[in-house]
Amino acid sequence: MPLNHSSQYAELTNEHFQAIGKLTVEWSNIEFLLGVLLSRLLVTPDFLARTYTDRMSGAARQDAISEACKIHSYRYGYKLVGQEQIKKILEINNKITPLRAARNKFAHFFWSRSSDEEIFGTNFSGGVPVGNKYKKSFVSFTVAELEELHKKAYEIVDVLSDLTQNLPEMKEDGLDSKIGPLRE
């Protein structure tokens, strides 16, 4: 039985659930915007790119963005996307990685209340509890730490939104004469 259903004293509070929910919503925004960002870097209409990016994990999207930035640098010499924009994209991409690690814990761990101010998560992994695997098998967060993670995620969404707005967008306008009417 999952830990947060074991007793009323271990069950997460509404404040815990709310803090986790806020972080989860912002993570969804981050993953969506990573897909949009990748489509812009690949000079592909956003909707068409989703046939590719929707199947990718957040980590895979980040890796593809890093590769696309390298190509813009080495192959295209920043002619399609400027050097300053690429630098900002790589910076924000690096800030997402530690947040993704926290998000993965919320998605895959069992959670319990340590106190009204702290929650404890474990993945109940098998094996002998030694080394790095053991150290990564549990974590605790205070409500204040959860709020700080949400704040970081919210700021990342703002930066990703600005970056995608400032990148060239391949519009679907005009494509209908070549491929037939666009359907919505």
Of 51, 52, 49, 57, nearest to 30 (Cα)? 57
Beta bridge partners of 120: 112, 140
More confident site: 11 or 78? 78
With tokens 């494509």, the residue in question is: 175
Query: Given this model, what pLDDT does residue 31 score?
Result: 94
Q: Parse the chain into domains and list their residue ranges.
A: 3-179
Q: Is residue 168 over pLDDT 50?
A: yes
Minimum mean pLDDT among 119-123, 147-151, 160-164: which range?
119-123
**Pairing outcome for strands 118-122 and 138-142:** antiparallel
**More confidently predicted of 11 and 81:** 81
Q: Is 15 helix (H, G, I), strand (E, B) or coil?
A: helix
Evaluate if residue 132 carries a pLDDT over 90.
no
CB 48 within 8 A of CB 174: no
The dihedral over CA atoms of 156, 88, 92, 48, expressed in degrees to the nearest 10, equals 80
| Whether residue 1 has pLDDT greater than 70 | no
pTM for the model stands at 0.83
Residues 180, 32, 30: CA angle, nearest 5 degrees: 160
> For 173, left (φ over 0), alpha (ψ -120 to 50), or beta?
beta
Largest CA distance in the chain: 64
**Pair 96, 30: CB distance under 8 Å:** yes
Residue 141, beta-bridge partner list: 119
